[in-house]
Structure 1
């Protein structure tokens, strides 16, 4: 959700979907608070009595009617007496209560029943017996007071038609009502927090975010897949998984970006480390090779090479040796799979990676690879920390940025796109990586639907993959320890 944008139903539903745990937590906390407050609250009991005000001694029907009208007119005058301090003082004296008149009056409520001359008096107290006693005595005192007030006018009498009873069931706290109210309030608080969280979220999550920040569209999405943490080349090992299909979809979209002149040299990078660029590079390269294209995958991340390790190849001599003139391309390029895919390892760590990758030798090497292969996939470092990817993007046909869903900040993607724009490098598109299957964009790309093979249909066995040839190990200096030691936390989709 963008800052300053108005909320609509789609935003609310997305906020609820991504922050459902806040709603659940809010309901549970609301129930817990309501239950605790109900348990700590002092129980209150009530007792009610009903009094009828009537004119006595009516000789005929007409007189009775006139008396009833008189009672209805005067009853609203009588009612405040029941909640006043005067009668409360008399009740205190009679029952010997250790309370003030104001306290007793505060426990009394009275109301006239509609279209009648009946008054309902309710007394609420912490003791059920005392509530009943106050209600009964109040009824008697009220009857005497009305008789005194009306003795010179007419014979008005007050009759108790419903005696107060001792009710041992507390009227407060209402546990069920409090729990329901706590759950509703907790749900509303949770919804508010979910909306606030969504509104303050500054990470990239939607295709609209990508288009607005980078000026390029989403060229594909890769779902969250725990298998990618251990088996990075899923397109060859699990050809029917959703992750494999997502990489094939990216392959197809790339091939149809420009049907007449599709990009051949493609730089794969990211904004910052940990967005899955190397995993995207190896799977895109294998997917292109599976379609029959001749592909070479260049491990141009000389600082933190991951490609050879992910693919189980030798990481000795490689790109840095070729650029330094200490090895030939044919010696260090390693075949993979059925031979359609070749991999050029990073080689030893040079002292000046950016200068080496931006050299004329690198441009010449890319031209040679372009002439000999259908596609050249170049795995590079992230754009923001170092300039390696930027200098290579100028010499390539285009750049592909991978962005981690819900992790990459909006400003990071925007700045990465600006880096390419400033040097006139072409941004082919953005791949949203590690997208949860519950995310709206995942359903938008059809990943919520399965299409498994019929039972009994067995896939044809894949050709046996060849291990890379150990070339240049004797001829060249030993591999720099920095290229063989796995840095802490480098597993999974870290590069």
Structure 2
């Protein structure tokens, strides 16, 4: 079995460095063009709600009430994304989205081991995203009071209009594309060298033909 010569591999990479560089630059440029001119920017914002205990306010907080509320927070999240809430939200803001389109823009997450719900909204317009998040919180509170008979719900953080899009991220995309380009370039170089059986150096003669070199004729212009 032929042993792998690390030095020989490094020499191959150095010899074909320009070829690998072409792959890196090409992939980075394509990724940058796509990120800056093709992919539409999308903005993201969020609002958070805290849901208190079930029932009327009691001076003493019971541990069982807290555990029950934490279990019900998942139910609250489903209500926040329900068609009932979505249709009222669309009507209030005069949006042209369907229920399904709006659902794709909204993500409801439960902050682990807490009674806090985080509502994240994504949209191509940062102002619209913030309006949807705040209105969703208002409609949700209204409906959760009617459905679950819970009164102690408060908004912790109101949505802020994002100044910068959260995607695309051209720098990160171009960096990833450059890495992929370099990997593909290296693979292409080794594949080319593996299938190239032409004699280029004296080492190739000794290695492939097993013949000793007795002399070299220099190239004279």
TM-score where L is the length of structure 1? 0.41
- Cα RMSD of the aligned pairs, angstroms, is 2.5
Paired residues, number: 218
Q: C-alpha offsets along residues 136-160 of structure 1, whole Å, 9 cap, x if unaligned?
A: 1111122122222322xxx453311
1:213 to 187, 195, 208: 208
User: Which is greater in Rg?
Assistant: 1
2:23 to 26, 35, 39: 26
Q: Give 1:13 deviation, angstroms.
A: 2.2
Within the alignment, does 1:170 sit opposite 2:165 as a pair?
Answer: yes
Q: Is the 8 Å Cα contact of residues 77 and 110 (structure 2) preserved in structure 1?
A: yes
Within the alignment, does 1:58 sit opposite 2:58 as a pair?
Answer: yes
Q: Which residue of 2 aligns with 1:350?
A: none
Q: Is the 8 Å Cα contact of residues 107 and 125 (structure 1) preserved in structure 2?
A: yes
SS in 2 for 1:142: helix
Paired with 2:9 and 2:52, the residues of 1 have a C-alpha distance of: 61
Q: Is the 8 Å Cα contact of residues 79 and 144 (structure 2) preserved in structure 1?
A: no
SS in 2 for 1:93: helix
Q: Give 1:84 deviation, angstroms.
A: 3.7
Q: Which residue of 1 aligns with 2:178?
A: 183
Q: Which residue of 2 aligns with 1:17?
A: 14
Higher relative contact order at CA 8 Å, sep ≥6: structure 1 or structure 2?
A: 2
Q: Give 1:176 deviation, angstroms.
A: 1.6
Q: Which residue of 1 aligns with 2:95?
A: 97
Within the alignment, does 1:75 sit opposite 2:76 as a pair?
Answer: no
C-alpha distance 77-9 of structure 1, shift in aligned 2 (>3 A): farther
Q: 4+ residue stretches of structure 1 with deviation over 6 A?
A: 4-8
Structure 2: 5+ residue stretches without partners: none
TM-score where L is the length of structure 2? 0.87
Q: Is the 8 Å Cα contact of residues 70 and 114 (structure 2) preserved in structure 1?
A: yes
C-alpha distance 51-206 of structure 1, shift in aligned 2 (>3 A): farther
Q: C-alpha offsets along residues 187-234 of structure 1, whole Å, 9 cap, x if unaligned?
A: 122112212222222122566642353231344xxxxxxxxxxxxxxx
C-alpha distance 29-159 of structure 1, shift in aligned 2 (>3 A): same
Paired with 1:11 and 1:88, the residues of 2 have a C-alpha distance of: 64
Q: Give 1:95 deviation, angstroms.
A: 0.6
Paired with 2:206 and 2:123, the residues of 1 have a C-alpha distance of: 66
Q: Give 1:178 deviation, angstroms.
A: 1.5
SS in 1 for 2:48: strand
2:187 to 164, 187, 192: 192
Which aligned pairs between 1:203-352 and structure 2 lie closer than 5 A?
203-205=198-200, 209-219=204-214, 250=215, 280=217
Q: Which residue of 2 aligns with 1:119?
A: 117
Q: Which residue of 2 aligns with 1:140?
A: 138
C-alpha distance 159-210 of structure 1, shift in aligned 2 (>3 A): same
1:35 to 2, 26, 32: 32
Q: Is the 8 Å Cα contact of residues 133 and 159 (structure 2) preserved in structure 1?
A: yes
Q: Is the 8 Å Cα contact of residues 207 and 217 (structure 1) preserved in structure 2?
A: no
Structure 1: 5+ residue stretches without partners: 220-249, 251-276, 281-432, 435-490
